[in-house]
Structure 1
């Protein structure tokens, strides 16, 4: 039975996603992707002109969605700063502005891992640095002051590492969302405690 073109295109993208996730862009060959998709290398090129085009099809709109989510979180944080809220109210305010399940389902996806660890050699190879840079900048807003700059950067690096670890090892999306949500709550609680202590000491 002949495979429909739409079905074959989906198979190619799924095969490519698996290979990019395991090996990264540079170490993945179009021939291997074609074999995994049960088609020929010549036929694969009927669907995608080159490996870069296929890579972009795999990650899709994820880079744009993540940037929108990050800036949405930033807006929620700035709004919370301008109100007299306790810790739990701040968390709930952020969740109201940016539904965590929607945000985290992208951060916990294979496509996210591909962007963060397998994009070398593509037009998106700088995405990890851009993502990390935003996290560092945002963390420094949570922990203002030159004396906190190095610590804020380290916490941001740790946050990205935790995201990647949970994305790789979660047994289900629900488990991953619970783990990251709890991690963020602990992170915010710790930062607020440090900031309160510094304010008291001043």
Structure 2
């Protein structure tokens, strides 16, 4: 019995995701989800509280990846000066950015452009604020660990860097025609620019 319930829950989630990505959240009705899943509208509410709850479930994997991404940014991997000296760190960072952006292009587009009027409206802006706070903590942590570096980085400039990150994501999710090679090039350029920029800003020898 529980297996059947789990299967229905997964089915509803798959149908909702497909409809949200194809038609947007506003233009997707619970009736449409019911019709395409073969589950009665009234029965859907035994699994999800409503469309908003379905949306949060659809985007849950993206939110987990974002949490992991942010945690990694303050991990010991990135708080060593070796980050700016050895090519292996470039590859670690490139793979980190790629694992966040590439598999979740559709979900990111959904979050950024299709959540108006839902409980997730403004969530992407909140993410950017979180990234800004992470940047401030990163600078402080690096200065604590490596007193010789410069920590006099304008918080306004850190916000500009967050907007650059935002622009990278929006460019990738809006321009679906960007090829795999093109996507890899964008990510590679972004990571190279970031490593070189931070090295210069903090005066790492």
Shift of 1:178: 4.6
Would you tell me which structure has more helix in proportion to its own residues?
A: 1
CA drift of 1:156 comes to 1.0
Cα displacement string for residues 130-150 of structure 1 (whole angstroms, at most 9, x for unaligned residues):
31012223445469436x322
Cα distance in 1 for residues equivalent to 2:76 and 2:6:
40
2:175 paired with 1:169: yes
Match of 1:102 in 2: 99
* CA positional deviation for 1:71: 1.1
TM-score normalized with structure 1 length: 0.68
| Separation of aligned partners in 2, 1:70 and 1:193 | 23
Cα deviations by residue, 1:158-195 (Å, 9 ceiling, x for unpaired): 21121132134345895434532332222332443455
The SS at the match of 1:48 is coil
Moved more, 8-17 or 156-165: 8-17
Gaps of 5+ in 2: 140-149
Per-residue deviation, residues 48-73 of structure 1 (Å, max 9, x unmatched): 33112211221134313311221112
Post-superposition offset of 1:27 = 4.9
Residue of structure 1 in register with 2:64 after alignment? 64
Partner of 1:88: 87
Query: 180, 185, 189: which is aligned to 2:187?
Result: 180
2:163 to 157, 160, 174: 157
Q: Matched residues in 2 for 1:136 and 1:70: separation? A: 11
Give the structure-2-normalised TM-score: 0.67
Of 168-177 and 52-61, deviating more is 168-177
Please provide the CA RMSD for this pair: 3.8
For the structure 1 residues 84 and 58, does the alpha-carbon distance in structure 2 shift closer, same or farther, using more than 3 Å as the test? Answer: closer
Q: CA deviation at 1:154?
A: 1.8
CA distance in 2, matches of 1:56, 1:162: 24
For the 8 Å contact 2:48–2:54, the answer to whether it is kept is yes
Q: Secondary structure at the match of 1:60?
A: helix
Alignment: residue pair count:
190
Distance in 1 separating the partners of 2:26 and 2:152: 40
Deviations 1:92-133 (A, max 9, x none): 4646xx755533445x33223323333344444353133101
Q: Which runs of 5+ in 1 are unaligned?
A: none
